[in-house]
Chain A
């Protein structure tokens, strides 16, 4: 296997030892993230700290497992946003927005609009739905807090647009498969970022980001097979005639 000679290993080692050193020197002294942050700031800091981790999970799923998703980091943002909304409600809203968006998209196809306007209309429809949901749950006495803005509507809209394109071009089953992989990836991200231990570790020790980046770099040099390729190339592994 031909490889480029690059200082990858050096960079990874430097990152790991730097992060490890900070971790060690800091010992039990307080984290870089103050504990008395106002809740909204804290939410933002958590979101920011978890985003690289979510991206790393997407990298693993793509390069080691080989699942193809709509957009590289869309599942990272989706998974993080599930955390903001209560889990089930988030998934429910997502599914409703996606399916209504998809139906709207079918209708819009007849109107012969330019693509940008079409996406804008989809976005507006998604907003209306979400607004209805927020107002409704408020009315029933359980407000959804300031969480909703984190649901990346633009991403959901892009998902609908891409799903539709793929359905037209490669058939419904291919589109459903990719959507399934996207959801599975988002769910995996969600399972990680809702894990209190992980959130605590990141907030208490932001220097862990060094390890995350090191892992991302290492994955970038992975040249082995993806799990799905073992299935794809199974005929080539058979005893040859």
Chain B
């Protein structure tokens, strides 16, 4: 009895389901040939560097298992870094290191990993354990970004980022993603991170969800989540728009970190952005996209 009613209400509020997103968003606006640009983080990093959009420094890239014997040198030179699969998704396979200890490397969650454990992780990663479709992958050793002071009290042991959904070149919706104890330093909702809806105009958070339900306070720090101002907001929007234009994708999620020292830094772009952004904002995507479509049709562009 309840679900035809739910379906009707969701539809009238313009909520997108996966099928609608796949057909109306991705198939329609993202030509398949453009996917490789965003599916491989290294390609996107190259684009960023070429067009001058700030992105974290890459310390090293590992391609072959044999190269892993150099891992120790790289990590000793940059013990504060992030290891991530070039073709990963949903935060899988990402390891954050914060320093060097006699026994090994300190991870953001307080545990230590020995060089052998890390080498095994990288070997799995190269074999494609975390990559889209299980294809062999490359490992990126990247500069670790740090949390901006204004967001410190609503982040737990990790760096928050902002997911901006850009539709036909216009920022349509945004969500601040916050790491939790459960998400282990990564801010992906899929891993148990908090998602806070953001007002595009002001860059202030409105409400938040955790594990699919509304919450008012950060589950670990207990701080209220609404009405927080995201630092560097105009720069974040600009970076997202620039990246969307550079990739040519019409329906793209761009992840930007307001770094404590370097400001807005682009982490990656996603050609299949998820739907949690709707729940975080409490608004259906359909309505927002229609508004942008109408704006495009009438030819009036709002910057």
Stretch at the interface among A40-48, A96-104, A225-233: A225-233
| CB of A28 within 8 Å of the partner chain | no
| Residues of chain B contacted by A169 (CB below 8 angstroms) | 92-93, 130
Q: Are A226 and B3 in contact (CB under 8 A)?
A: no
Using known A-B contacts A112-B120, A115-B127, A115-B128, determine if residue A236 contacts B28 with beta carbons closer than 8 Å: no
| CB of B7 within 8 Å of the partner chain | yes
Q: Could you jot down 19 A-B contacts, CB within 8 Å?
A: A3-B23, A66-B18, A114-B65, A115-B129, A169-B130, A170-B190, A221-B23, A222-B19, A223-B19, A225-B19, A226-B19, A230-B3, A233-B17, A233-B278, A233-B279, A235-B212, A235-B279, A236-B284, A237-B9
Q: Are A236 and B7 in contact (CB under 8 A)?
A: no
For chain A residues 1-17, which have a beta carbon within 8 Å of chain B? 1-4
Using known A-B contacts A225-B10, A230-B3, determine if residue A235 contacts B214 with beta carbons closer than 8 Å: yes
Residue of B with least CB distance to A66: B18
Q: Are B23 and A223 in contact (CB under 8 A)?
A: yes
Q: Which of B13, B123, B128 contacts A236 (CB 8 A)?
A: B13
**How far is A148 from B267 in the complex, measured between Cα atoms in Å?**
49
Residues 1-22 of B, flagged 1 when their CB comes within 8 A of A and 0 if not, give 0010111011101010111100
**How far is A169 from B129 in the complex, measured between Cα atoms in Å?**
10
Residue of A with least CB distance to B290: A2
Residue of A with least CB distance to B123: A114
**How far is A229 from B15 in the complex, measured between Cα atoms in Å?**
10
| Residues of chain A contacted by B6 (CB below 8 angstroms) | 230, 233-234, 237
| CB of A63 within 8 Å of the partner chain | yes
| Residues of chain A contacted by B220 (CB below 8 angstroms) | none
Query: How far does the Cβ of B188 sit from chain A's closest Cβ, in whole Å?
Result: 10
Using known A-B contacts A115-B129, A225-B17, A236-B278, determine if residue A4 contacts B286 with beta carbons closer than 8 Å: no
| CB of B293 within 8 Å of the partner chain | yes
| Residues of chain A contacted by B286 (CB below 8 angstroms) | 1
19 more CB-based (< 8 A) A-B contacts, given A224-B7, A233-B15? A1-B24, A2-B24, A2-B28, A2-B293, A3-B24, A4-B28, A112-B123, A115-B124, A116-B127, A224-B17, A225-B10, A226-B18, A229-B17, A229-B18, A230-B10, A232-B212, A236-B10, A236-B279, A237-B15
Q: What is the interface size of chain A, counting residues whose CB is below 8 A from a CB of the partner?
A: 29
| CB of B27 within 8 Å of the partner chain | yes
Q: Which of A1, A223, A233 contacts B10 (CB 8 A)?
A: A233
Residue of B with least CB distance to A236: B15
Query: How far does the Cβ of A35 sit from chain B's closest Cβ, in whole Å?
Result: 42
For chain B residues 183-228, which have a beta carbon within 8 Å of chain A? 190-191, 209, 212-214
| Residues of chain B contacted by A29 (CB below 8 angstroms) | none
| CB of A124 within 8 Å of the partner chain | no
Residue of B with least CB distance to A164: B129
Q: Are B65 and A4 in contact (CB under 8 A)?
A: no
For chain B residues 61-97, which have a beta carbon within 8 Å of chain A? 65, 92-93
Query: How far does the Cβ of A2 sit from chain B's closest Cβ, in whole Å?
Result: 5
| Residues of chain B contacted by A170 (CB below 8 angstroms) | 190-191
